[in-house]
């Protein structure tokens, strides 16, 4: 069946309807640019806009440095080594994108990668170095050359977050509001985004943890809100990754695309009682081997690159071995990695606390949701389908990753694209101020005596998505999930509390639902999207899935690609460049 258009009856409840006080009574903060999110993409955009003279307000859902970026154990990719060049980097990215990466976008980001790394170095980023002082670069799955920079082995995100926070805190044109959760966008009379409602988890005046509503008004709003891994039972994402930006954009009528492409990281530590600790791909690059219960190394059965195959291949291979053996995990063997404890001190520490010497004994691992490849449709400067709203980082879909993200390209995207977005927004700020329309707060009457158990709904959601919209999917499971999610949305519309937890569960259910609809819509397997009832990759489905909320309905349609797959041309250009140099 070739792709077409589907329309689903799906009224989307807005949490703003539960506002407990009159909108006119709320305080209002004004700025030129409002950035929602304080990870690598958000802070780089804010700094770039501030450097060009804009007054920027940054909202952070938690502490300024408590972001997805902080927990990124992998590295950041840039073609800076001998024998490498941006064209090779672009070619590898296109090959892994399964026909859905835009060559122009890929070329722009990979060509600007070395300059972005040099900016980080000037700001004080401490990347790992070789004994001679040169930058140390590793190789990860999908990369033909060593081009992945790390900091302190597996603490790259933590180091980059440290540097960006330091720059942001000391920037004269940036105001930072931590513990501020965005709730919903607001528009002016002409439909242009001009701010949002947020809730501050006030720690003083109204008592600890009491939500305090506030409006933020801005000429332009940048979403850098990250992904939504918390809608799944197993995820590497921190607690705040609840799909907030995706849900707010959806409710506002912004186009989203390719939500069916969710990347699973192949290896998280799987010990009863332990946090789901991500074991970076760099460990497999150093020689760690995946083994099944019998001790057999199995990756050669699935891909010639074995442990360094693309992440979707490794994740499905592990899942397949788990299913066949009836196990909950496989094992990662470090016995062939010299000096493993000193090379990976964080992993050594956590396994030692559970009585395991991982250099001598294989450790249990399994896949977990790691990255949302799809998101808010945006261009190379971050413009979305609604005027006044921009998007960057994991919450955006700029057709860089295609259908499958290559390892260590996400920090790169946030750094390069974030700068581009910040500069574009600052350059577009000479607009007349337009006041937003006050939102409706006519929430449906709650049922007498009914109380919604938020924690129970979140647990049920995570389990449902893991079972039926996970690593492998089929029509029966997807349709059942969609029906359940629609019921839960109805409960939330009537009973969801106006609190951070209440808003988060609305966002999670709505994002889970449109993700499920997108996975049902794509009747093939491509990249990270795998369906047992449609196992082939099909040319007619080399399209982007476009999702838009209209009042009371959600429309999903195929958006044909407007470019040719250009990895061969990119490869030729790279070879020519290297020969001439």
Residues annotated as catalytic are: 311
User: How many CA atoms within 13 Å lie on the side-chain side of 541?
Assistant: 21
User: Do residues 288 and 307 touch, judged by C-beta distance below 8 A?
Assistant: yes
Please state the separation of Cα 428 from the chain's center in Å: 26
CA distance 298 to 330: 10
Of 432, 39, 23, the closest CA to residue 223 belongs to 39
User: Can you say whether residue 5 is alpha, beta or left, with left for phi > 0 and alpha for psi between -120 and 50 degrees?
Assistant: beta
Which residues are registered as beta bridge partners of 196?
185, 216
Strand stretches in 93-240, DSSP E: 137-138, 148-149, 174-177, 180-187, 193-202, 210-223
Tokens representing 510?
A: 């709505």
Of 104, 256, 108, 107, the closest CA to residue 563 belongs to 104
CA distance 447 to 457: 18
Tokens representing 278?
A: 């991500």
User: Can you say whether residue 526 is alpha, beta or left, with left for phi > 0 and alpha for psi between -120 and 50 degrees?
Assistant: beta
Tokens representing 319?
A: 């899942």
CA distance 210 to 451: 19
CA distance 399 to 391: 13
Those residues with Cβ within 8 angstroms of residue 267's Cβ, 6 or more apart along the chain or in another chain: 278, 279, 281, 283, 284, 290, 314, 318, 332, 365, 366, 367
Q: Which backbone phi and psi does 355 adopt, to 5 degrees?
A: 75, 25
Length of the chain: 581
CA distance 296 to 414: 38
Q: Which backbone phi and psi does 477 adopt, to 5 degrees?
A: -65, -40
User: Do residues 16 and 439 touch, judged by C-beta distance below 8 A?
Assistant: yes
Tokens representing 479?
A: 């349709």
User: Do residues 368 and 268 touch, judged by C-beta distance below 8 A?
Assistant: yes
Strand stretches in 230-280, DSSP E: 256-257, 262-269
Tokens representing 574?
A: 């790279």
- DSSP letter assigned to residue 173: T
SS3 371: strand
- DSSP letter assigned to residue 132: T
Buried b (16+ CB within 10 A) or exposed e, 233-244: bbbbbbebbbbb
């Amino acid at each position: 069946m070739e792709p077409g258009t589907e329309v689903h009856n799906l009224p989307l409840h807005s949490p703003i309807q539960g506002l407990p006080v009159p909108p006119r009574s709320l305080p209002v903060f004004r700025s030129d640019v409002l950035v929602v999110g304080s990870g690598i993409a958000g802070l780089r955009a804010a700094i770039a806009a501030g450097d060009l003279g804009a007054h920027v307000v940054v909202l952070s859902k938690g502490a300024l440095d408590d972001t997805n970026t902080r927990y990124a154990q992998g590295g950041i990719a840039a073609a800076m080594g001998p024998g490498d060049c941006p064209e090779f980097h672009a070619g590898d990215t296109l090959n892994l994108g399964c026909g859905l990466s835009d060559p122009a976008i890929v070329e722009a980001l990979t060509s600007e990668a070395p300059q972005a790394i040099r900016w980080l170095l000037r700001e004080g980023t401490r990347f790992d170095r070789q004994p001679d002082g040169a930058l140390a670069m590793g190789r990860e799955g999908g990369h033909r050359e060593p081009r992945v920079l790390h900091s302190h082995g597996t603490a790259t995100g933590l180091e980059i977050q440290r540097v960006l926070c330091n720059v942001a805190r000391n920037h004269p044109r940036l105001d930072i509001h931590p513990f501020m959760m965005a709730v919903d966008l607001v528009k002016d009379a002409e439909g242009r985004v001009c701010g949002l409602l947020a809730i501050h988890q006030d720690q003083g005046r109204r008592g600890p943890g009491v939500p305090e509503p506030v409006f933020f008004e801005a000429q332009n709003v940048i979403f850098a809100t990250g992904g939504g891994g918390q809608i799944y039972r197993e995820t590497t994402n921190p607690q705040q990754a609840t799909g907030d930006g995706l849900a707010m954009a959806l409710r506002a009528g912004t186009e989203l695309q390719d939500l069916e492409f969710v990347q699973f990281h192949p290896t998280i530590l799987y010990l009863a009682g332990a946090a789901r600790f991500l074991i970076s791909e760099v460990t497999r690059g150093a020689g760690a081997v995946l083994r099944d219960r019998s001790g057999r190394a199995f990756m050669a059965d699935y891909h010639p690159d074995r442990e360094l195959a693309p992440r979707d291949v490794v994740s499905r291979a592990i899942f397949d071995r788990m299913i066949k053996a009836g196990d909950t995990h496989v094992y990662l063997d470090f016995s062939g990695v010299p000096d493993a404890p000193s090379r990976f001190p964080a992993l050594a520490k956590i396994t030692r606390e559970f009585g395991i010497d991982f250099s001598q004994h294989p450790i249990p691992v399994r896949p977990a949701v790691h990255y949302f490849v799809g998101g808010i449709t945006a261009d190379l400067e971050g413009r979305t389908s609604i005027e006044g709203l921009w998007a960057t980082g994991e919450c955006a879909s700029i057709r860089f990753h295609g259908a499958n993200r290559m390892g260590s390209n996400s920090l790169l995207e946030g750094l390069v694209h974030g700068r581009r977005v910040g500069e574009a927004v600052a350059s577009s700020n000479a607009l007349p101020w337009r006041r937003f329309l006050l939102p409706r707060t006519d929430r449906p009457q709650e049922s007498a005596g009914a109380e919604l158990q938020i924690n129970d709904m979140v647990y049920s959601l995570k389990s449902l998505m893991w079972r039926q919209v996970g690593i492998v999917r089929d029509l029966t499971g997807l349709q059942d999930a969609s029906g359940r999610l629609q019921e839960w949305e109805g409960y939330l519309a009537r009973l969801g509390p106006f609190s951070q937890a209440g808003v988060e569960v609305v966002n999670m259910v709505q994002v889970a639902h449109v993700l499920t609809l997108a996975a049902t819509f794509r009747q093939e397997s491509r990249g990270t999207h795998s369906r047992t009832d449609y196992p082939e990759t099909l040319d007619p489905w080399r399209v982007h899935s476009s999702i838009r909320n209209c009042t009371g309905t959600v429309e999903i349609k195929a958006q044909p690609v407007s470019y040719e797959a250009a990895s061969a041309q990119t490869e030729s250009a790279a070879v020519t460049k290297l020969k001439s140099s």
